[in-house]
A and B are shown apart, each in its own frame.
Chain A
């Protein structure tokens, strides 16, 4: 059963991933991206990391996709079709990507992974304890740094998006 679900999710990820980088309609490509992100959340559910799947659904499929849709609607007409790269450039890029993929897969399949059979369930409490732990292996410092980063990104985004208006007001005393 899990096998079938995984293969369905993998097929959806690859098909909609390709669709999202080749579609000529901007909004459709964003929707295809959201299908890819939701299928990845499904993979997280399959490997039993429910908290991570919830993060993926809220932050990626909820937040980031909505942000990108906003920017598409602000800067595009919906019917507008995208300019595509030249066919020769596409073919060269596709061949380069296939070669790179071949190198990756060869490296993966020749490496002997030491897989441990397990069915450990991780609770959200475990993740929270590790994130806030002061002991060796705890992640309290990066956790605080990421909160400062998010604050800085938020202020920066506001300043950049409203840039000229803010500076004009400040410059007329």
Chain B
């Protein structure tokens, strides 16, 4: 654990990061920006898993494993999202949310 830092301060930082992600997810109108906001939210949850593991249950490693799985799923999700965005851009020449009316390829 970080000496001199309580769990409350770290959880405050991750909560703020999560809601920055929520704010970006709602206000952005661009598919790539929405992807960036999702990454911010996922990262906040990863830090929460790690911090709670380290501060409350230091003798087990379950939080670390869950973080590894979250990071792996996030990587898979990003790869798929980028391929969908590139495919959409080929068909409608735009990545704005309001222009996307078809998901059929």
Contacts and interface: CB of A to CB of B under 8 A. Distances in A.
A157 B80 contact: yes
Contacts of A78: none
A26 B33 contact: yes
Nearest to B82: A71
A29 B35 CA distance: 11
Contact of B19 (A51, A101, A127, A156): A101
B27 A72 contact: no
Interface residues of B, number: 75
A95 to B, nearest CB: 10
A149 B74 CA distance: 11
A67 to B, nearest CB: 5
Contacts, number: 227
Interface in B9-49: 9-13, 15-24, 26-30, 32-33, 35-37, 39-40, 43, 46-47
Contacts of A44: 47, 50
Interface in A119-172: 119-120, 122, 126-127, 130-131, 137, 139, 142, 146, 149-150, 152-154, 156-158, 160-161, 163-164
Contacts of B57: 116
Contacts of B64: 49, 51-52, 122, 127
A120 B1 CA distance: 8
Nearest to B95: A75
Question: Which of A3, A10, A22 has the most C-beta atoms of chain B within 10 angstroms of its own C-beta?
Answer: A10
B75 to A, nearest CB: 5
B41 to A, nearest CB: 11
Given A115-B56, A131-B65, 8 more contacts: A10-B9, A20-B40, A47-B54, A67-B78, A85-B28, A113-B8, A117-B1, A163-B87
17 contacts: A14-B16, A20-B24, A21-B28, A30-B32, A33-B39, A36-B43, A44-B47, A52-B68, A75-B95, A85-B26, A104-B15, A105-B15, A109-B8, A126-B61, A137-B60, A160-B80, A161-B87
Interface of B: 1-13, 15-24, 26-30, 32-33, 35-37, 39-40, 43, 46-47, 50-51, 54-62, 64-65, 67-69, 71-80, 82-87, 89-90, 95-96, 105
